[in-house]
Amino acid sequence: MGIIRSYFSFICGTVCGVYIAQNYNVPNIRKLAYFGLDRAKKVEETYRKPKKDGDGDL
């Protein structure tokens, strides 16, 4: 009985997650994360300060 009690919330969360993923239009998190990372890189490259000569790169 102890294993069921200790993993009850994990099992319920897994069952609910499977149900939601099968019945609703859930976005692909990996694809969304890559899109955000790509967008952040483009913004950073756009607004980066230009390098000056002799900036002390060792």
For the chain, the domains span 2-47
Rounded distance between C-alpha atoms, residue 38 and residue 8, angstroms: 39
Pairwise pLDDT comparison (50 vs 41), residue with the higher score: 41
Categorize the per-residue pLDDT at 26 as very low, low, confident or very high, splitting at 50, 70 and 90.
confident
* Number of residues that this document lists for the chain: 58
Q: In what helix (H) or strand (E) does residue 32 lie, and over which residues does it extend?
A: helix 29-47
5, 6, 13, 14, 25 from 2: Cα distances, Å: 5, 6, 18, 19, 36
The CA radius of gyration of the chain, in Å to the nearest whole number, is 23
Q: Is the pTM of this model over 0.75?
A: no
User: Which residue type occupies 20?
Assistant: I
